[in-house]
Amino acid sequence: MEGKTVYSAIQPSGDLTIGNYVGSIRNWLTLQEEYDCYFAMANMHAITVRQDPAELRRRTLSLAALYIACGIDPEKCALYVQSQVPQHAELMWVLNTVTYVGEMERMTQFKDKSRKHADNINMGLMDYPVLMAADILLFKADLVPVGQDQTQHVEIARDIAIRFNNRFGETFTVPKALIMKQGAKIASLQDPAKKMSKSDENPNASVFLTDDRDTIIRKFKRAVTDSDDRIVVSEDKPGISNLLAIYASFTGKTTEECEKEFEGRGYGEFKLAVGETVADKLAPVQEEQKRILSDKTYLHGVLASGAERAFKVARKTISKVYRKVGFYQGE
In whole angstroms, how far apart are CA 300 and each of 39, 81, 83, 245, 303? 16, 10, 14, 36, 5
For the chain, 331 residues long, give each residue's pLDDT as a single digit of tens: 458 999 999 899 878 899 889 888 888 899 999 999 999 999 999 998 889 999 999 999 999 999 999 999 999 999 999 999 999 999 999 999 999 887 777 776 766 766 776 777 778 778 889 999 999 999 999 999 987 667 888 999 999 999 999 999 999 999 999 986 655 478 999 999 998 988 888 989 999 999 999 999 999 999 998 878 889 998 889 999 999 999 999 998 998 999 999 998 999 999 999 999 999 999 999 999 999 999 999 999 999 999 999 999 999 999 999 999 999 998 7
- In terms of domains, do 269 and 307 share one? no
- In terms of domains, do 98 and 13 share one? yes
Task: Say how far apart CA 28 and CA 70 lie, in whole Å.
Answer: 10
CA 50, 152, 240: angle at the middle one, nearest 5?
A: 85
- In terms of domains, do 246 and 125 share one? no
Please report the pLDDT score of residue 270 as a whole number: 95
Q: For residue 185, is it within any domain?
A: no
- In terms of domains, do 265 and 284 share one? yes
Please report the pLDDT score of residue 119 as a whole number: 75
Choose the catalytic residue: 140, 195, 237, 271.
Answer: 195
Please report the pLDDT score of residue 111 as a whole number: 66
Range of the domain at 125: 5-179+295-325
- In terms of domains, do 126 and 268 share one? no
- In terms of domains, do 103 and 66 share one? yes
Of 181, 223, 187, 186, which Cα lies nearest the Cα of 204?
223
In whole angstroms, how far apart are CA 250 and each of 18, 23, 37, 298? 10, 12, 24, 29
Choose the catalytic residue: 113, 140, 237, 271.
Answer: 113
Collapsing DSSP states into helix, strand and coil, what is residue 147? coil
Of 110, 262, 215, 214, which Cα lies nearest the Cα of 205?
215
CATH of the domain at 220: 1.10.240.10
Cβ atoms of residues 125 and 149 within 8 Å = no
Q: For residue 144, is it within any domain?
A: yes
For the chain, the helix, strand and coil percentages under 3-state DSSP, each to the nearest 5: 60, 10, 35
Q: For residue 193, is it within any domain?
A: no
Please report the pLDDT score of residue 48 as a whole number: 87
Active site residue 198: yes
- In terms of domains, do 171 and 274 share one? no
Q: For residue 117, is it within any domain?
A: yes
Cβ atoms of residues 3 and 140 within 8 Å = no
Spatial strand order in the sheet of 176-179: 77-81, 36-41, 5-10, 143-146, 176-179
Please report the pLDDT score of residue 2 as a whole number: 58
Active site residue 4: no
Q: For residue 106, is it within any domain?
A: yes
- In terms of domains, do 238 and 158 share one? no
Q: For residue 194, is it within any domain?
A: no
Separation of first and last alpha carbons in the chain: 38
- In terms of domains, do 173 and 315 share one? yes
- In terms of domains, do 153 and 29 share one? yes
Please report the pLDDT score of residue 1 as a whole number: 47
Q: For residue 280, is it within any domain?
A: yes
Cβ atoms of residues 243 and 271 within 8 Å = yes
Active site residue 316: no
Q: What is the pTM of this model?
A: 0.87
Please report the pLDDT score of residue 169 as a whole number: 97
Total domain count, the chain: 2
Name residue 176's beta-bridge partners.
Answer: 143
- In terms of domains, do 105 and 224 share one? no
CATH of the domain at 93: 3.40.50.620
Choose the catalytic residue: 4, 76, 185, 198.
Answer: 198
- In terms of domains, do 43 and 134 share one? yes
Q: For residue 198, is it within any domain?
A: no
Cβ atoms of residues 60 and 81 within 8 Å = yes
